[in-house]
Structure 1
Amino acid sequence: MAEKLKIKLSIADRVYPLTIDPLQEEGLRKAAKNIEQLAKKFEQNYAVRDKQDVLAMCALQFASKIEQKGIDHSEGVKEAAERLKALNVLVSSKLGMK
């Protein structure tokens, strides 16, 4: 089992000390950077009362992207299944003619 790594991430002017698996470091740092960038964007473009509002909007933005990807994926799977069924019917009809 790998040793745990202690890191500090800064999000919305707060430092969060974490003890993580070394394989998680890159993903966590990228996630923190994305949150910081989005928070700055919200602060610049909208009237924001406090950091909690900014972080709530960031959470909503990221969560909605995840949900939309799930919806898009399920629709893509459904469409692929329908195409495979149609292809199966076509192949079956051609094989049945011989």
Structure 2
Amino acid sequence: MDELSIKIKIADREYPMKVKAEDEARVRNAGKQINERIRSYRERFGIDDKQDLLAMVAFDCLVDKLETDEKQYDMDEGVLEKVNHLNNIINQAL
């Protein structure tokens, strides 16, 4: 398992971390997106306090994750219903 030592800069602070080589792009992209959201909130709301900005980004990310989880659950339920329906049709045909 190859691990890389990288530094991610978030809100003007550098965070050293070790990541798997295959996760590097995802981790760097996450840092970039966090910084973009911070910049967006700073511009939209005129907030300069980094702790407030980070809290808003964290909250926003969790809301997005919960929404994605709900959609995934609904999709999984729909697929399960269709598979069960197909199984019933197959069983009736046999």
What is the DSSP-based 3-state SS (H/G/I as helix, E as strand, rest coil) of the residue aligned with 1:48? coil
The alignment covers a number of residue pairs equal to 94
What's the TM-score once normalised by structure 2's chain length? 0.80
Structure 2 counterparts to residues 2-13 of structure 1, below 5 A: 2=2, 4-13=3-12
Q: Name the counterpart of 2:68.
A: 69
**Unaligned stretches of 5+ residues in structure 1:** none
The Cα of 1:88 is off from its aligned counterpart by 4.6
| Bigger radius of gyration among the two | 1
**Identity across aligned pairs (percent)?**
28
**Unaligned stretches of 5+ residues in structure 2:** none
CA RMSD in angstroms comes to 2.1
What's the TM-score once normalised by structure 1's chain length? 0.77
In the alignment, the residues of structure 2 paired with residue 18 and residue 80 of structure 1 have an alpha-carbon distance, to the nearest angstrom, of 39
Matched-pair contact (CA < 8 Å) for 2:9–2:15: yes
Matched-pair contact (CA < 8 Å) for 2:5–2:19: yes
Matched-pair contact (CA < 8 Å) for 2:4–2:21: yes
